[in-house]
Structure 1
Amino acid sequence: MASKQNERIIAKYLINQASFKELDDLEAWIKKPNNEQEFLNYVKVNYSIDYNLKITDTVKTKKLISTLFKREKRKFRVRRIQRYSKYAAVFIGIMISIYVFKNVLFKSLDKDTTTPVIVTNIIQPGTDKATLTLEDGSVVDLEKGVSFITANANSNGEEIVYRIDDKKTKELIYNYLTIPRGGQFYVVLSDGTKVWLNSESKLKYPVSFIEGETRKVELVYGEAYFEVSPSTEHKGTKFKVFNQSQEIEVLGTEFNIKAYRDETSIYTTLVEGRVTVNYENRKQNLMPNQQSSLDVNTKNFLVKEVDVYNEISWKEGVFSFERKPLNEIMRVLSRWYDVDIIFDSKSLEEVKFFGVLGKDQKIEEILETIKNFKIIEVYEIKGKTIILK
């Protein structure tokens, strides 16, 4: 049985997100007796693979594998050319094996005779875009391919970076970064803290922090991943994130906060370091790989161990769903693709799905993958509305 660590590496490998160290580990594991078959069995049972690979035509498949190989080769050459041949061999072997089991896996599915899919509109995946509200109230659209410069920051349309203020700030001046549905953005604050913002999110932060005072930002709503510049680089000043009913206090760490307006719970997931969650005049320290959930209505507060990769994969361009109910998955997809999703049957909402999918895929490809794994029978796309049956 594949370990939890190997499960994560397999998932990352299949969507081209694995590091060299992870490839080392995966290669060593596959070389052991019976593990190649274990690899194939594990993926077949547990994962829905990119629907683009569901090809029964041998010529097309060989062409696709060749394309994937060239892409992987370019990536490795840029990183570490002397290690290329070792990993290229691993890549070819595994890709051929994947093709073999996929051909078997999808063979029966190709004979599916369910109602054909009805599509009346092409929906595009999300992209880098945001609106920046400046201190004077003016609003600027930030989008891929468009540059923007202020006295304090500059943006290339995919990120915005604030400059360190050489002059000592005496008054806090705030900017707001708002990410719409179908968007994402990355910001580097003036203290060097890095923040990744997911779709339908809003962050309030100062243009510059006051030296010696606690650094404070507010996640007004949505989801954000923080890589906080350590207090040791800022004369010991703490960093705090406020949002709705709680406050996160950190000294220098990485964590994820999910606080969407259409969800009743706030989730805080610690990746590394140490944070303290303050809520209802109480405090709770989190350890790495722990997640707290606070119900904003009942004030019920829970802490549990989680697979961190599944919680933060969104910032790496991946949807990683580990037996998540379909209604939760569809909320994620609706934000990224900026669509409304309707369930024809209430019972469908609680059906669970386990899959790793790329955020750059077309929505039709993702829906086809879910459909081919018998999670849904059919779907319809009408304008910006998707109906699941």
Structure 2
Amino acid sequence: MSTPHPGTSLRRRSPLARLTVSAVLALALSALFAVSPAWAADGQISGLAGKCVDVAAASNANGTAVQLYDCNGTNAQKWSNSGDGTLRALGKCLDVVDRSTANGAAVQLWDCSGGANQQWVVTGARDIVNPAANKCLDVRDNNSANGTRLQIWTCTGGANQKWNAPASGGGNPSGFVVSEAQFNQMFPNRNSFYTYSGLTAALSAYPGFAGTGSDTTKKQEAAAFLANVNHETGGLVYVVEQNTANYPHYCDWNQPYGCPAGQAAYYGRGPIQLSWNFNYKAAGDALGIDLLNNPWLVQNDASVAWKTGLWYWNTQSGPGTMTPHAAMVNGAGFGQTIRSINGSLECDGRNPAQVQSRVDAYQRFASILGVSPGNNLY
């Protein structure tokens, strides 16, 4: 394998195979589901400064701006959740303009179409999340003035993203498609570090994971992620890289911040083996945790460990052409997740036994979840 470069998505290795390097970063940390929801009365959605989500001028015309405004009890502020994942007012749906998934994309009122840009999950932490974008409903510029436009933005846990909503839209906040009993069945010999609660606590950062598309797609994606994790960790047995001789190799002194935790502190850890000082720096920056100075958190905090794996799965294509998340929700198939995770070492005939190991685990986990594994396994 070639020498890694900072800022690139590096292919990873199983601690069992003792290959060289992985690259897993992490993600923006949103609030966890442990917070109890406080649902507003009368269908109002209240948030920043006690003001309400409001349809401008009470118009139900397509494209009408959705904004923050003093709560007044009018129909322009009465939202309902019909149970299909939409939030509705004046007979129309809360909609992300132009189906955008970008930070700053405004929301509006529009005819209900069933599109992904009209799907919302109200979490127990009081975020309102669009799973397709993996972003939160947000008050622009943290401005509480009447008429401030609402938008979607990376979930930060800020006050301008916290809402008291009429119901949980689009799903059960703690309803991961893999039950704890199924998780235990998948990993009968797992290390006690890899807790089910640690995994479910990490899910709030990426609600689109195992939350996008049909029930079949959701279960297939969960099985695919866990099958790859299974391969990387020997069945969730290994928390840290097993070849200690590699440990001093993961320090790039060309970085301006160096290796403050020590030359040998940045070895592989977690479900997809976070490695190298620059990856710990970037992961810590994304999580709001100082992993550069305290990389041991990845092997001591199960939720942090799981988040590093979910970050890679949802946002990085590695040596592939798409993220593993995109491969599963867009129908490219399990084989493309292998390419994105370790394709440079395993795909195109390089290591068919390693590929088969991943496929076998995926088929087994799909069976446990009662779902077909689908096509394009290799």
TM range, smaller chain: under 0.3
> Which has more radius of gyration?
1
Whose relative contact order is higher, 1 or 2, with alpha carbons under 8 Å and at least 6 apart?
A: 2
Which of the pair is proportionally richer in strand? Answer: 1
Normalising by structure 2, what TM-score? 0.25
Normalising by structure 1, what TM-score? 0.24
